[in-house]
Structure 1
Amino acid sequence: MYYIVEQMSWNTDVKITLQIDGTPRPIPVNVEINLLRIGQEALTNAVRHADAQNIRLNLLFEPEAVHLQIRDDGRGFQPQVQLTNSGFGLIGMQERSRQIGGQLRLVSSIGRGTEAIVTVPV
């Protein structure tokens, strides 16, 4: 995940931070790969579409679940409208979450940024 954060930061002035909480442990490879891809998509959306200046990723390891939270200070959007009208990236994030038995929650509003949280029982 650190590499992705560095890579996404190279050609932009956006400040991207990554924090890992809890006790990191091995998780199933398919969960790891899908969380990585969800994180990439959320970063791409925040940089390309939201005009975010700050993006924070938090990976939280709990005994029964892993949570990936991506929060930006961008322009925000109406998730219910975006998910029904287009947003292939958002739809892909939802599908990836489902594939690993997880749940994606999007919280956003115009002018207030976006938060995506993926929770996966492990």
Structure 2
Amino acid sequence: MKYAALAAAAVLLSACALTPEQRAEREAAHIRARQNLQVALAAQCDPDTATLMRRQFDGQTGADAKDKQTFRLAYIDKVNDKMFQACYRMAWQSYAAQQRLEDLRRYSRYYDDWWYGPRPWGPWWW
């Protein structure tokens, strides 16, 4: 009986485990979502820079060395622009603040501080 329960637990745990392919898929999806977020935030500041960022993430930097060098220089010029960097930083800060606010809202909807507790006529310590 003991061995059967142990074997059943091992089978259940191994059935729920991720395969390396599934783990790689999830990681690739996570990276792609992060890249999409970066491009979306860059598009708020400069659509041309966002296009260059998307091309770099997709690996479309050019066919030959001259195209790659031209793309690289254009990308560096656009990304290192002080105005773009300031706007991009503000966009990231705004996004982080929005996420924090959503977390707080989600937490406040979930968590009740039990001020009134199970009794409707006052705090729980009355």
TM range (shorter): under 0.3
Greater share of residues in helix: 2
Greater share of residues in strand: 1
Q: Which has the higher contact order (CA 8 A, sep 6+)?
A: 1
Structure 1 length-normalised TM? 0.27
Structure 2 length-normalised TM? 0.27
User: Rg: which structure is higher?
Assistant: 2
